[in-house]
Amino acid sequence: MKIFSTRSEIQQYLASLNGKTVGFVPTLGALHRGHISLIEQAKAGNDVVVCSIFVNPTQFTDPKDLENYPRPIATDISKLEAAECDILFHPPVSEIYDDNEHWHLNIGPLEFLLEGEFRPGHYQGVTQVVYKLLDIVKPTRLYLGQKDYQQFMVISRMVELLKIPVQLVMCPIEREPGGLAMSSRNIHLTADDRQHSLILSKTLNWLKANFDVNKIFQLEQDAMAMLQSEPGVEPEYIEIADGKTLLPADESSTSIIALTAARVGKTRLIDNVVIR
């Protein structure tokens, strides 16, 4: 695997691949099976796969979260080599940002709903860095996980608004045996937290199974009560949304998704399930 830490080196190398299709998997590192499944899907659909590991400061709203974010780079490199990833881009912050840079992209209500309400500014930071990474890598296809469903919608909107020539691919959520969605932040969970965290996927699956039984308002209230009754779990939201807009769904919406975020112990987790 080739490893680059500067824009100019990776751009020079990518230019020499003329005509090859490039699949790109951007990450914050601390890689797990979810990330590796994205690499595998990118490998299956492209000539060359680029992964980036960059803990992007502008998308963290909580400085403690940024400070505590795991950065096991040597293990990550071994995992990428085992997955036969072709290129790793691992830049320092100074390679991506100049001092006092300004960024604002009007992505409409998507910025303020759900994650946007609890992590204000997060999606401006995400679009800022993904724009820069796409500009450097210029991939044919961009692979993103369904776990960050709202992030996928936000990046799709940016690609549409800025007419970026890239195809987006949404990859299914990889889960632990009990149903917990894999996430780099899971390493912060204690054994008790792990047990309690199972309520997230259980409640989402319950919503899916009962969708035709009750009205959306009632389902959301019952689901919130299920989360609240689990020790150590502090839910932020659990909502049934239109899968195309993320605005509140009604029973007749053609695409419907249930999404949740909760603190489990000291760790904030998100998850979702497509209802239809």
Ligand X SMILES: Nc1ncnc2c1ncn2[C@@H]1O[C@H](COP(=O)(O)OP(=O)(O)OP(=O)(O)O)[C@@H](O)[C@H]1O
By CB under 6 A, name the binding residues for ligand PAF.
26-28, 56, 59, 126, 129-130, 148, 151
Write down the least CB distance from residue 154 to ligand X, Å: 12
Any known ligand binding at 59? yes
Angle at 273 between CA 270 and CA 274, to 5 degrees: 140
Residue 104 is among the residues annotated as catalytic for this protein? no
Start-to-end Cα distance in the chain: 40
Q: Which amino acid is at 162?
A: L
Instruction: Give CA–CA dist 133/182, Å, rounded.
Output: 24
Decide: is 148 part of the binding site for ligand BAL (CB under 6 A): yes
Beta carbon nearer to ligand BAL, 59 or 127: 59
Write down the least CB distance from residue 125 to ligand PAF, Å: 8
Q: Are 33 and 116 a contacting pair, CB within 8 Å?
A: no
189 contacts which partner out of ligand PAF, ligand BAL, ligand X, none, CB within 5 to 8 A by kind? none
Decide: is 174 part of the binding site for ligand BAL (CB under 6 A): no
Closest CA to 52 of 16, 95, 98: 95
130 contacts which partner out of ligand BAL, ligand PAF, ligand X, none, CB within 5 to 8 A by kind? ligand PAF
Chosen residue from 182, 198, 224, 274 binding ligand X by CB under 6 A:
182
Closest CA to 267 of 198, 180, 208, 187: 187
Decide: is 59 part of the binding site for ligand BAL (CB under 6 A): yes
Instruction: Give CA–CA dist 189/194, Å, rounded.
Output: 6
DSSP 154-223: HHHHHHHHTT---EEEEEPPPB-TTSPBP-GGGGG--HHHHHHHHHHHHHHHHHHHTTTTS-HHHHHHHH
- Of 32, 35, 102, 122, which is the active-site residue? 35
174 contacts which partner out of ligand BAL, ligand PAF, ligand X, none, CB within 5 to 8 A by kind? ligand X
Closest CA to 93 of 2, 7, 159: 7
Residues β-bridged to residue 234: 263
Write down the least CB distance from residue 151 to ligand PAF, Å: 6
129 contacts which partner out of ligand PAF, ligand X, ligand BAL, none, CB within 5 to 8 A by kind? ligand PAF
Task: Give the CA diameter of the chain.
Answer: 58
Write down the least CB distance from residue 210 to ligand PAF, Å: 30
Beta carbon nearer to ligand PAF, 37 or 56: 56
Distance of CA 70 to the CA centre of its chain: 16
Decide: is 133 part of the binding site for ligand X (CB under 6 A): no
Closest CA to 58 of 118, 128, 4, 107: 128
Q: Per-residue x/- marks for ligand X, 17-56, CB under 6 A?
A: ----------xx-----xx-xx------------------
> For binding to ligand X (CB under 6 A), which residues are involved?
27-28, 34-35, 37-38, 144-145, 147-148, 171, 173-174, 181-185
| Residues placed in the known binding site | 59, 145-148, 151, 182-185
> For binding to ligand BAL (CB under 6 A), which residues are involved?
28, 59, 148, 151
Active site residues: 35
